[in-house]
Amino acid sequence: MGNKIGVYVCHCGTNIAGKVDCEHVAKYAGGLRDVVVARDYQFMCSDPGQDMIIRDIRDYGLNRVVVASCSPRLHEKTFQKACQRGGLNPYLMQHCCIREHCSWVTADRGEATAKARRIVEASVNRVGRHRELFTRDVDVLPDVMVVGAGIAGIQAALDIARSGHRVHLVEQGPSIGGHMAQFDKTFPTLDCAACISTPKMVAVAQEPNINLLTWSEVVDVSGFVGNYTVTVLRKARYVNEDVCTGCGTCLEKCPTKVLSDFEEKLAFRKAIYRNSPQAVPNTPVIDAAHCKMITKGKCGICQKVCPTGAIDYNAVERREVYHVGSVVLATGYDTMDPTVMSEYGFGRFEEVYTALQFERLNNAVGPTGGRILMKNGQPPESVAIIHCVGSRDKNYHEYCSRTCCMYALKYDHLIKDKVGHHARVYNFYIDMRCFGKGYEEFYRRVQEEGVTFIRGRPAEVVREDGHLVVVGEDTLLGMRVRVPVDMVVLCTAMEPRRNAQDVARVFGVSQGQDGFFLEEHPKLGPVSTATDGVFLAGSCQGPKDIPDAVSHASGGAAQALALAARGHVSISPTTSYIDPEVCIGCKVCIGLCPYSAIEFDERRKVSVINEAMCKGCGSCAGYCPSGAAQIKHFRESQVFDEIDGLLGMHAPEGPCGESAESSANVQAGEPA
């Protein structure tokens, strides 16, 4: 049977038709070989548009379909499904893009139309070579892994666990809670962070469906959607979690003091420590680099005082393997170290703090017991809060960190509240971005509390006569300002975690320009990634405040659950195939395959693909010296014909081919 091709050119309103003469392109396509019907239509992705394809498949006996509209990354599946509904194998359809790669980026209408014609012709050429392909269904393992146990990871884990699915929650730190555990109050409600996060942390510990793996890291991931094998490194804690009661005697007796990262280096912790009294789990961990018993073999006090004998200096790390259907990444963010911006004096002047340090100054279990105090033990009489430190700055991070305006306002309020209303607070800002529910109202409230707002990024912080002076310009007044203050708080940028690149590599996700993990689509796919079965939650995808992180996490959980609950997933059939008649048995492909999906059949002396493991990357096909290895749907003949079409190798005579059906265009609202 010969090919009967239907071509559909979408106007996409004026998105395509504004630059491409769609009617002309459809007419041209109508004159191409094997094309029996060619139409242009306002919106191909609409129901009437899809119905048009389905009806034509029946009426004209179409066995190939070409849709020219937006990017196949957006709507290829839509039209594949439409073909399927019309009784046509979805792989006998070719979707080509005349919007993102043509109408939207071409200045001239004539040129855009000519380019669209070529693109359509290439697809018509190519689709003639398409073959029926069938997706395979594979089972999805019911368990889910969540990586990172900040507020996003916690939320995702709880959502999944409460549906009845088992969750392995991996956290690299000794306890869960992430950055939120360091905060005191949250904007704009001034809820106490611990009051709202501790119940969730405890719920995680008590949830029987959650397997909590703290002090652990994912070191290897293999497999594919629905069937991931994850190797988790359980670092040596030196404290037996099953025996320890969390009494804390060891912490009191340990003689070694180390600057605490959790306290942002404002206080000391012991060599055996936990982040805070509310830590979940409350089992301490021994910092092997500083423990005198482990480094020098002298001390051993914690072991002596431990009432349950939980201390084990000889503990070793171990690897555990988990089989999960999907993964939710919630690895969070780091705050920028402002030392590099030496003009602000962080690290040089002791009363210059980062935002996270200031959070600790406010925290009831922090180094000052929740009082805002300077190093000399006195409360500051005046504080400068510098916004956008490292954010919205071409030299550091171009993006806005989204949370700083609001936490700066929170600090304004807290200073007025805790130090007293006589305390002067100066905000140096570029723009105020109070975009959330109740945020603008909070801004107004803080303004009414008598806080000073100065528009303009300060030039530097200097020290004169023992006082800090912020030097800058008030760009609204057009005047230079010099503001003497006791304390400076730097609203530091949120940036990708230091190890984001390693995590990205292990899980096979991409990073965007900023280094945050790249979502599948910035608008419509903000939780999924290009790797099926790996989802994102929270600030590992980009700066987020708590409500955004929590809702993003619930979104990630829902996606993972959708997979787990359905129990099976369709795998693309566009894998490799090695023609045994052509294969010369050179084995080149075997060494090239990154997934070990090719084996050698000793009896027939040919290479054989294991389709369950093949992901269709084409490493074998591109190198096969005999042409035996081919990627289905990207076969040599298909690519060759596409190239011919793009280059106009078989273009019919004349500027626009005519055929009986080519005038069968339909206008909006009256499909033929």
Partner 1 sequence: MKTEFEPTILAFVCNWCTYTAADLAGTSRMVQQPNVRLVRMMCTGMVDPKYVIKALLSGADGVLISGCHPGDCHYMNGNYKARRRVRLLKEILPLFGIEEGRVKLTWVGASEGNEFAATVNNFINEIREIGPMEARSMAIV
Which residues in this chain contact partner 1 in the complex, by CB under 8 A? Answer: 71-74, 97, 99-102, 104-108, 111-112, 114-115, 118-119, 122, 501, 504-505, 508, 510-514, 518, 530-531, 574, 592, 594-595, 615-619, 621-623, 631, 634, 636, 639-640, 642-644, 646-649
Tell me which H or E stretch contains 491: strand 487-492
Q: Between residues 73 and 371, which has the closer beta carbon with respect to partner 1?
A: 73
Please state the closest distance from residue 394 (CB atom) to partner 1, in A: 14
Which one, of 10, 4, 2, lies nearest residue 76 by Cα? 10
Q: Between residues 24 and 162, which has the closer beta carbon with respect to partner 1?
A: 24
Please state the closest distance from residue 70 (CB atom) to partner 1, in A: 9
Please state the closest distance from residue 640 (CB atom) to partner 1, in A: 6
**φ, ψ for residue 171, nearest 5 deg:** -130, 130
Please state the closest distance from residue 222 (CB atom) to partner 1, in A: 11
Please state the closest distance from residue 433 (CB atom) to partner 1, in A: 22
Q: Between residues 96 and 157, which has the closer beta carbon with respect to partner 1?
A: 96
Q: Between residues 422 and 523, which has the closer beta carbon with respect to partner 1?
A: 523
Please state the closest distance from residue 114 (CB atom) to partner 1, in A: 7
Q: Between residues 73 and 445, which has the closer beta carbon with respect to partner 1?
A: 73
Q: Between residues 13 and 622, which has the closer beta carbon with respect to partner 1?
A: 622
Peptide bond into 142 cis (omega under 30): no
Q: Please count the other Cβ atoms lying within 10 Å of the Cβ belonging to residue 59.
A: 11
**Which tokens hold the place of 399?**
């993006």
Q: Between residues 643 and 672, which has the closer beta carbon with respect to partner 1?
A: 643
Q: Between residues 531 and 665, which has the closer beta carbon with respect to partner 1?
A: 531
- Give the span between the Cα atoms of 204 and 279, in whole angstroms: 12
Does residue 505 contact residue 531 with C-beta atoms inside 8 Å?
no
C-alpha angle 469-473-476 in degrees, rounded to nearest 5: 135
Does residue 549 contact residue 152 with C-beta atoms inside 8 Å?
yes
**Which tokens hold the place of 150?**
């900040």
Please state the closest distance from residue 179 (CB atom) to partner 1, in A: 25
Q: Between residues 1 and 107, which has the closer beta carbon with respect to partner 1?
A: 107
- Give the span between the Cα atoms of 34 and 31, in whole angstroms: 9
Q: Between residues 393 and 644, which has the closer beta carbon with respect to partner 1?
A: 644
Buried b (16+ CB within 10 A) or exposed e, 599-633: eeeeeeebbbbeeebbbbbbbbbeebeeebbbbbb
Q: Between residues 113 and 492, which has the closer beta carbon with respect to partner 1?
A: 113
Please state the closest distance from residue 395 (CB atom) to partner 1, in A: 19
Which one, of 305, 151, 149, 267, lies nearest residue 218 by Cα? 149
Please state the closest distance from residue 535 (CB atom) to partner 1, in A: 16
Does residue 68 contact residue 26 with C-beta atoms inside 8 Å?
no
- Give the span between the Cα atoms of 22 and 16, in whole angstroms: 8
Which one, of 452, 487, 222, lies nearest residue 353 by Cα? 487
Please state the closest distance from residue 576 (CB atom) to partner 1, in A: 9
Residue 296: partners with Cβ closer than 8 Å, 6 or more residues away: none
Q: Between residues 225 and 423, which has the closer beta carbon with respect to partner 1?
A: 225
**Which tokens hold the place of 300?**
């051993």
Q: Between residues 285 and 504, which has the closer beta carbon with respect to partner 1?
A: 504
- Give the span between the Cα atoms of 358 and 344, in whole angstroms: 16
User: What is the DSSP-derived secondary structure letter of residue 403?
Assistant: S
Helix, strand, coil percentages, rounded to 5, for the chain? 30, 25, 45
- Give the span between the Cα atoms of 237 and 175, in whole angstroms: 12
- Give the span between the Cα atoms of 70 and 97, in whole angstroms: 5
Residue 602: partners with Cβ closer than 8 Å, 6 or more residues away: none
Please state the closest distance from residue 494 (CB atom) to partner 1, in A: 17
Does residue 308 contact residue 244 with C-beta atoms inside 8 Å?
yes
Please state the closest distance from residue 631 (CB atom) to partner 1, in A: 6
Which residues are 233's β-sheet partners? Answer: 217, 319
Please state the closest distance from residue 637 (CB atom) to partner 1, in A: 11
Q: Between residues 281 and 542, which has the closer beta carbon with respect to partner 1?
A: 542
Q: Please count the other Cβ atoms lying within 10 Å of the Cβ belonging to residue 562.
A: 12
Please state the closest distance from residue 308 (CB atom) to partner 1, in A: 46
Sign of CA dihedral 370, 376, 377, 378: negative
Does residue 218 contact residue 506 with C-beta atoms inside 8 Å?
yes
**φ, ψ for residue 123, nearest 5 deg:** -70, -40
